[in-house]
Amino acid sequence: MGNCFFADDFAALGTADAIRLALGKLQKSGVLMRVAHGIYYYPKKDAKYGLLSVLGYKIS
């Protein structure tokens, strides 16, 4: 159903500000969804149903 990941997963690729800016741009363009502070979701796209979201499930 897509992939969840943390902003910290990209710590080796640049500064915290650069990572935050890049993830914010991807979120605004609709590529990523923000679940909570520092937690992002890359939704799976289905030809029939569109974006499939894990957000309806309990995350713990």
Assigned CATH for 2-52: 1.10.10
> H/E/C letters for each residue in the chain?
CEEEEEHHHHHHHCCHHHHHHHHHHHHHCCCCEEEECCEEEEEEEECCCEEECCCCCCCC
Q: How many CB atoms lie within 10 A of CB 39?
A: 14
pLDDT at 27: 93
pLDDT at 1: 59
pLDDT at 13: 95
Domains of the chain, residue spans: 2-52
- pLDDT one-digit tens code per residue, 2-54: 788 899 999 999 999 999 999 999 999 989 989 899 999 988 787 887 777 66
